[in-house]
Amino acid sequence: MNDAPDQVELFPLQAVLYPGGLLNLKVFEARYLDLVSRCVRESRPFGVVALRHGSEVHRRGEPVDLMGVGTLAQLLEIDSATPGILQVRCRGLQRFTLRDARQQAQGLWRAGADWIDDDDDVAPEPAHQGSVRGLMQAIAALKAQGTEPFLEPHRFDQAGWVANRWCEILPIPLAAKQKLMELPDPRVRLRLVDDFLRSKGVVVA
Report domain extents, the chain: 7-115, 126-199
Say whether pLDDT at 144 is over 90.
yes
pLDDT, tens only, 113-126:
999 999 999 999 99
Query: Which residue type is seen at 44?
Result: R
Question: Which of 10-14, 82-86, 157-161 shows the lowest mean pLDDT across its residues?
Answer: 82-86
Average pLDDT, the chain: 92
Q: What pLDDT does residue 2 have?
A: 46
Q: Where are the alpha helices (DSSP H) in the chain?
A: 30-42, 129-144, 159-169, 174-182, 186-199
Q: What pLDDT does residue 81 have?
A: 79
Rounded CA separation 130/111 (Å): 40
Task: Say which CATH architecture domain 126-199 belongs to.
Answer: Orthogonal Bundle (1.10)
pLDDT, tens only, 25-75:
999 998 999 999 999 999 999 999 999 987 766 666 667 899 999 999 999
Q: What pLDDT does residue 37 have?
A: 92
Cβ atoms of residues 1 and 72 within 8 Å: yes
Rounded CA separation 97/116 (Å): 7
Rounded CA separation 18/126 (Å): 24
Residue 165, helix vs strand vs coil: helix
Nearest CA among 93, 92, 70 for reference residue 3:
93
Q: What pLDDT does residue 63 have?
A: 79
Q: Check if CATH label 3.30.930.10 holds for domain 7-115.
A: no
CA 47, distance to chain mean position in Å, is 10
Summarize the confidence of residues 9-33 as an average pLDDT.
94
Q: What pLDDT does residue 58 have?
A: 62
Rounded CA separation 131/145 (Å): 21
Going by pLDDT thresholds of 50, 70 and 90, the confidence category of residue 82 is confident
- Phi and psi at 146, nearest 5°, equal 85, 15
pLDDT, tens only, 164-196:
999 999 999 999 999 999 999 999 999 999 999
More confident residue, 63 or 146: 146
Q: What pLDDT does residue 54 have?
A: 75
Residue 30, helix vs strand vs coil: helix
Cis omega (within 30 of 0) for bond into 83: no
Cβ atoms of residues 114 and 99 within 8 Å: yes
Cβ atoms of residues 122 and 191 within 8 Å: no
